[in-house]
Each structure stands twice: as structure tokens, then as C-alpha cells.
């Protein structure tokens, strides 16, 4: 089949964010069985990162094309007004651009794809240009859920704006997703929320294709705790802030020789200022699996966000013992005390970390169980088979209409 992927940014293992990594793995898995063409905005990430992503995509896709994302004051002002009036979310408005509209129309006319695969909610609106071509929505992050969680945490004027933003996204997602032949989420919870908000949408959880290229497990660095995240993603900043403020001091008081290593490009200055007292920032790490494998404990202290947390699955596949909040563990299928430890309260979260640091047998048990569980649940072959079945049903249903 001929598949046209439409995305808000370039994908790649070197993208430095979980969304870019997982979408690249999806595209690579699709391209192993289908002729995939890729269309996205450029100018979203640093130029050197986009060049690496373009090269990686070119190795698996039939074609890779981009159009520049133009952001200026007038566009920002119009998008802000549209969001406050609940007509269209701010990010979606910024992504509705004439250059992308023209490029999509040209690709549809030239390629005549069997299916258009649209990634991320802000791009869902482009379904209106696809005419009779079957379209599949790859949600990645259901803002109806993640926006609700964000709004619950906000107070004052910021809280009012967050609730208005959530209402705007919920209306937008319900309206746009009903136009797709199928709506795919990364987690069952996202699928259930979207189905509840709009029963007309054909929504189901597709999981993730993450097992290819995972190296053998290796021995961790003693007493090392690790976290990795893209700091442009607000839930990562909020989670790290919560951890540094409320959890890490408790851990260090009981295990003075423990270290906490934070990986990720361009950490905010307010975080870097807290280096010391066992805390260090490594910047971008080229091999994320090696980073996770070197942790005695990998923490996923997220307090907001939706979908499956890619960092959690990658840590499990790397054979690291994981301590996470319920949101950090969401979508993995991992059970507390079996494949990871799951705690939401700061004191309990710190206790769990200390237990794993001080108990080698518990650490080994959790690491082995996590690796086995993730290797089965997120197998690339199983994902390919599921998507093949979805394609078959979508194309057949389209032909009947």
C-alpha cells in the first residue's frame, strides 16, 4: 500500500523528544511493509537535528518533504484570540498554514495514496483536505485527557486559561476525529476518554513498536538514579520540579552517596542551578538505552500528561528498575511490585527509590520483569500485524461506501 504520513515535525531517533522517537519507529515499521512518503513542517527543531532526522527518514521512506513553519506576531495573536473564543486551539491554529495545505493537495494528486496517516492532534484538521482518501488519525497525545490533567493543577488566571484551553481542545478533537476512518491512540486510557467524548469516532489503542534495536542488558552504576526528558514538554518540567523539590531531598537524607543524573537537551536554567547535592545534568545522550541501563533506578515522576510514556517503556526495555507515578506508568501495563514500583506521594516515592537502591535482589527482579514485560507488550511484529489489520478494515470499509 501507499501511505502518506503528515506530521507537525520531523521524526528521528536523534530528535531529542519521545514523540519524535516513537513516530520514527512507527514510520520505520510501516515502511518495512508499505511504500511510505513523509510530509511535515520544518523549522520546528534546531537545524542540525532536523538534518539528522531528514537523513534517517530518507533511509526508510520513498520520499521526505517539508514546508517551513511560519510563526510571526500576527499569527500568534490570531491564534491566541481563536483559542480564547474556543474556535480553535492555539497550537492547531498555528499549524493551519497555506504552505502545508498546498503541499498536502499536491501530494494527494501526485502520489494518490491508499491511506493518509496524520500524526498529532494539531494536524487533525488537515483531514478536511483529503477528500475520498481514507485517513487514519495517530493521536500520540490526547489533549482532551492531558489538557484536563494540566488544568486541574493550575490556579488563578493561569487556571482559567488552562480550563478554556482544555474546552477548546476537547471540542476540536471531538469534531475532527469523527472525520477519520480510524483513530489510534498509544494507550487504552486515551482511547476510552476519546470514545466517551465522541462515541462516533472509531477509536482504539494501537500500542507501540519499540523492541527492534534494543541492546542486551548491562550492569548499572551503583546508587545512580536517572531521569531523561525533553524539556520543551511541560509534563517533563513539572515532573522534574516535583521530584527535585519533594522527593530527592528525602532520598539523599537516607542515601547520602546516591547520585541523580538528568539527561536531555537544553535543561532550563532554574534546573541547572540546582546541580550539586548529588544532582548533575548530562545533556543529550546519543544512546538512550545505554543511559537507562546504567541507572540503578530510573524514575518517571510525571504528574501531568497523557498517553504512553516512551521513557518508561525504553527504561523497561533497557533492563532498568523503574519507580514511577501512576501517570508515569500509564499505558505500560506494568503492575506495582511486579514490573515496577508505582507511588504518587513524595514520601512513598522516595521510600521506593531507597528500597531499590539498597536491595540488589529487588532491583534485579524488577529489572528482569520489566524487560520481559515490555519486550512482549511492545513487540514491533505484533504492532505491524495490528496495523495491517486496521489498514485492511479501513480500505475495505471505504470501498463499500
DSSP 276: B
Any domain includes 214: no
| Residues in contact with 311: Cβ distance below 8 Å, sequence separation at least 6, in sequence order | 18, 228, 229, 298, 300
pTM over cut 0.85: no
Element (H, E) at 137: strand 135-138
For residues 262 and 399, what is the distance between their CA atoms, to the nearest angstrom? 51
Any domain includes 34: yes
Any domain includes 19: yes
For residues 60 and 18, what is the distance between their CA atoms, to the nearest angstrom? 19
DSSP string, 379-399: -HHHHHHHHHHHHHHHHHHHH
Does 157 lie in the same domain as 17?
yes
Any domain includes 320: yes
74 CB-contact burial (10 Å; exposed 0-12 / middle 13-18 / buried 19+): exposed
Does 390 lie in the same domain as 282?
no
In contact, 243 and 274? CB cutoff 8 Å: no
Does 185 lie in the same domain as 67?
yes
* Bridge pairing between strands 322-324 and 182-185: unpaired
| Residues in contact with 385: Cβ distance below 8 Å, sequence separation at least 6, in sequence order | none
Does 121 lie in the same domain as 38?
yes
Does 306 lie in the same domain as 175?
no
Any domain includes 258: yes
Does 274 lie in the same domain as 157?
no
Does 123 lie in the same domain as 188?
yes
Does 65 lie in the same domain as 194?
yes
77 CB-contact burial (10 Å; exposed 0-12 / middle 13-18 / buried 19+): exposed
Does 371 lie in the same domain as 383?
no
| Residues in contact with 137: Cβ distance below 8 Å, sequence separation at least 6, in sequence order | 118, 124, 127, 176, 177, 180, 182, 183, 184
CATH number for the domain including 287? 3.40.50.2000
How many structural domains does the chain have?
Answer: 2
Does 384 lie in the same domain as 358?
no
Any domain includes 110: yes
Range of the domain at 153: 2-209+379-400
Does 112 lie in the same domain as 48?
yes
Any domain includes 197: yes
> With a cut of 50, which residues of the chain have pLDDT below it?
none
Report the pLDDT value the prediction gives residue 400, as an integer from 0 to 100.
62
In contact, 69 and 96? CB cutoff 8 Å: no
Is residue 358 classed as helix, strand or coil in its secondary structure? helix
Does 385 lie in the same domain as 361?
no
Which residue from 77, 109, 81, 89 is spatially nearest to 8, judged by alpha carbons? 89
Report the pLDDT value the prediction gives residue 267, as an integer from 0 to 100.
92
Any domain includes 162: yes
How many other CB atoms are found less than 10 A from the CB of residue 158?
Answer: 11
For residues 382 and 257, what is the distance between their CA atoms, to the nearest angstrom? 42
* Bridge pairing between strands 297-300 and 135-138: unpaired
For residues 136 and 391, what is the distance between their CA atoms, to the nearest angstrom? 9
Q: Per residue in 285-319, is it b (16+ CB within 10 Å) or e — as a string?
A: beebbebbbbbbbbbbbbbbbbbbbbbbbbbbbbb
Amino acid at each position: 500500500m501507499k501511505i502518506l504520513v503528515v506530521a507537525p515535525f520531523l521524526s528521528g531517533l536523534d530528535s531529542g523528544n519521545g514523540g519524535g522517537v516513537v513516530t520514527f519507529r512507527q514510520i520505520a515499521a510501516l515502511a518495512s511493509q508499505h511504500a511510505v512518503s513523509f510530509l511535515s513542517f520544518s523549522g520546528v527543531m534546531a537545524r542540525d537535528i532536523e538534518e539528522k532526522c531528514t537523513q534517517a527518514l530518507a533511509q526508510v521512506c520513498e520520499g521526505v518533504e517539508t514546508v517551513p513553519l511560519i510563526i510571526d506576531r500576527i499569527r500568534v495573536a490570531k491564534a491566541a484570540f481563536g483559542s480564547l473564543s474556543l474556535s480553535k486551539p492555539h497550537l492547531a491554529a498555528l499549524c493551519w498554514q497555506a504552505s502545508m495545505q498546498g503541499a498536502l493537495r499536491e501530494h494527494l494528486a501526485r502520489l494518490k495514496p491508499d491511506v493518509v496517516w496524520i500524526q498529532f492532534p494539531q494536524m487533525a484538521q488537515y483531514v478536511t483536505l483529503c477528500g475520498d482518501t481514507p485517513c487514519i488519525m495517530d493521536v500520540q497525545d490526547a489533549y482532551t485527557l492531558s489538557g484536563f490533567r494540566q488544568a486541574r493543577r493550575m490556579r488563578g488566571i493561569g487556571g482559567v486559561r488552562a480550563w478554556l484551553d482544555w474546552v477548546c481542545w476537547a471540542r476540536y478533537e471531538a469534531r475532527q476525529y469523527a472525520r477519520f476512518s480510524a483513530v489510534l491512540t498509544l494507550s487504552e486510557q486515551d482511547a476510552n476518554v476519546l470514545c466517551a467524548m465522541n462515541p462516533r469516532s472509531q477509536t482504539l489503542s494501537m500500542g507501540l513498536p519499540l523492541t527492534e534495536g534494543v541492546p542486551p542488558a548491562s550492569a548499572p552504576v551503583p546508587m545512580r538514579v536517572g531521569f531523561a526528558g525533553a524539556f520543551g514538554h511541560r509534563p517533563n518540567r513539572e515532573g522534574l520540579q516535583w521530584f527535585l523539590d519533594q522527593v530527592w531531598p528525602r532520598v539523599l537524607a537516607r542515601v547520602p552517596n546516591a547520585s541523580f543524573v538528568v539527561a536531555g537537551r537544553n535543561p532550563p536554567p532554574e534546573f541547572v542551578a540546582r546541580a550539586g547535592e548529588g544532582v548533575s545534568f548530562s545533556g543529550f545522550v546519543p544512546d538512550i538505552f545505554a543511559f537507562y541501563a546504567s541507572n540503578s533506578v530510573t524514575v518517571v515522576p510525571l504528574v501531568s500528561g497523557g498517553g504512553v510514556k516512551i521513557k518508561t517503556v525504553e527504561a523497561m526495555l533497557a533492563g532498568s528498575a523503574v519507580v514511577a507515578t501512576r501517570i508515569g506508568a500509564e499505558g505500560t501495563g506494568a503492575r506495582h511490585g511486579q514490573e515496577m514500583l508505582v507511588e504518587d506521594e513524595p514520601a512513598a516515592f522516595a521510600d521506593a527509590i531507597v528500597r531499590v537502591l539498597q536491595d540488589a535482589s529487588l532491583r534485579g527482579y524488577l529489572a528482569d520483569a520489566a524487560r520481559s514485560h515490555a519486550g512482549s507488550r511492545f513487540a514491533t511484529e505484533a504492532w505491524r500485524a495490528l496495523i495491517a489489520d486496521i489498514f485492511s478494515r479501513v480500505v475495505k470499509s471505504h470501498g463499500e461506501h
